[in-house]
């Protein structure tokens, strides 16, 4: 595994001669930040040795190197989801490659279903913490000591300094935000009403099918993480005539995206 990670990182280093300071992973319908990047190099995932290939609608599948607010960044436009069938090792492979490229912080976005009853569709939620409800942990198996410790600490999965700064940025720009806990599970089914309720009882504010594996892998390597969820639909157990559709998720994500872009840009500027 480590040889594969290094081979991919070496390919990217040699081809781009570019040293990113920050990594960005953009979720469903949330790729708009890329427009703000002065792109220097871009790669279809299928052209990168050892990278899995993204298939889901709305996930473009490109790795982009460029300059954002004066900082060198590498952005994944589209991510690899467990529900697509990739083993966890592949879902998280790019994060490990980004570490080898030298990133000092990881920014993630996702579309999520709102569980917290005070949330509204289109809300932006700063992720304070997560609950891993995937059927496995991406770090299961032999530990790669070169990357991190066997039993990584998860008390600050999401970086408190970045969270504090993000709140300040949101306030300065009159952006309404929520904060809370993201529960990640395998999908691809959206939750049954009973499952939405279970997640609410467990203490989650939003639910989605990504982010948790990437953050676990990044924290293993000691990379500070910052995440934002866009609430694309509400989990309302009593309303059964208004099911959530994938199109709805994509449309709401696109509308909320500029606020997310602003926060990511300002945070990265201040790194």
Catalytic residues: 28, 59, 81, 83-84, 111, 209-210, 233, 246
* Residue (100 or 108) nearer to ligand HPA, CB: 108
Count of beta carbons in the 10 Å neighbourhood of residue 128: 16
Interface of this chain with ligand HPA, residues 209 to 268, rule: CB under 6 A: 209, 232-233, 235, 244, 249
Name the minimum Å distance from CB 234 to ligand HPA. Answer: 8
The end-to-end CA distance of the chain, in Å, is 30
* Region from 2-10, 67-75, 108-116, 213-221 binding ligand HPA, contact rule CB under 6 A: 108-116
Size of the site for ligand HPA (CB under 6 A): 13
* Region from 4-12, 123-131, 136-144, 205-213 binding ligand HPA, contact rule CB under 6 A: 205-213
Regarding 190 and contact with ligand HPA (CB under 6 A), the answer is yes
Name the minimum Å distance from CB 248 to ligand HPA. Answer: 9
* Residue (20 or 27) nearer to ligand HPA, CB: 27
DSSP code of residue 173: T
* Residue of the chain from 191, 205, 214, 257 that contacts ligand HPA (CB under 6 A): 191
* Residue (28 or 92) nearer to ligand HPA, CB: 28
Regarding 66 and contact with ligand HPA (CB under 6 A), the answer is no
Regarding 56 and contact with ligand HPA (CB under 6 A), the answer is no
> Rounded distance, CA 125 to CA 27, Å?
14
CB 212 within 8 Å of CB 138: no
Instruction: Give, in order, the Cα–Cα distances in Å from 53 to each of 26, 86, 135, 166, 203.
Output: 16, 9, 22, 32, 34
Name the minimum Å distance from CB 16 to ligand HPA. Answer: 32
Torsion sign across C-alpha atoms 249, 255, 256, 262: positive
> Rounded distance, CA 54 to CA 90, Å?
11
In order, the DSSP letters of 38-84 are EEEEEEEGGGSTT-----STT---EEEEEEETTEEEEEEES---GGG
Which residues contact ligand HPA (rule: CB under 6 A)? 111-113, 190-191, 207-209, 232-233, 235, 244, 249
């Amino acid at each position: 595994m480590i040889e594969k990670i290094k081979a991919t990182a070496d390919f990217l280093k040699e081809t781009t001669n570019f040293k990113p300071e920050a990594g960005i992973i953009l979720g469903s319908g949330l790729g708009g930040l890329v427009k703000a990047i002065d792109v220097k190099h871009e790669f279809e995932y299928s052209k990168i040795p050892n990278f899995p290939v993204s298939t889901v609608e709305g996930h473009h599948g490109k790795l982009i190197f460029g300059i954002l607010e004066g900082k060198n960044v590498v952005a994944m436009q589209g991510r690899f989801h467990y529900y697509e069938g990739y083993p966890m090792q592949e879902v998280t492979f790019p994060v490990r490659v980004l570490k080898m490229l030298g990133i000092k912080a990881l920014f993630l976005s996702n579309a999520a279903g709102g569980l917290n009853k005070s949330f509204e569709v289109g809300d932006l939620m700063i992720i304070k913490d997560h609950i891993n409800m995937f059927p496995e942990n991406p770090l299961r198996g032999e530990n790669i000591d070169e990357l991190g410790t066997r039993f990584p600490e998860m008390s600050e999965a999401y970086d408190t300094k970045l969270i504090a700064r993000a709140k300040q940025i949101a306030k300065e720009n009159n952006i309404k935000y929520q904060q809370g806990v993201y529960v990640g599970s395998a999908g691809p089914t959206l939750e049954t009403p009973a499952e939405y309720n279970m997640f609410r009882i467990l203490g989650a504010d939003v639910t989605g099918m990504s982010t948790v594996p990437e953050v676990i892998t990044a924290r293993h390597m000691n990379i500070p993480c910052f995440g934002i969820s866009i609430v694309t639909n509400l989990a309302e157990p009593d309303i059964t005539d208004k099911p959530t559709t994938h199109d709805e998720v994509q449309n709401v994500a696109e509308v909320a995206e500029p606020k997310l872009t602003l926060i990511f840009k300002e945070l990265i500027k201040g790194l």
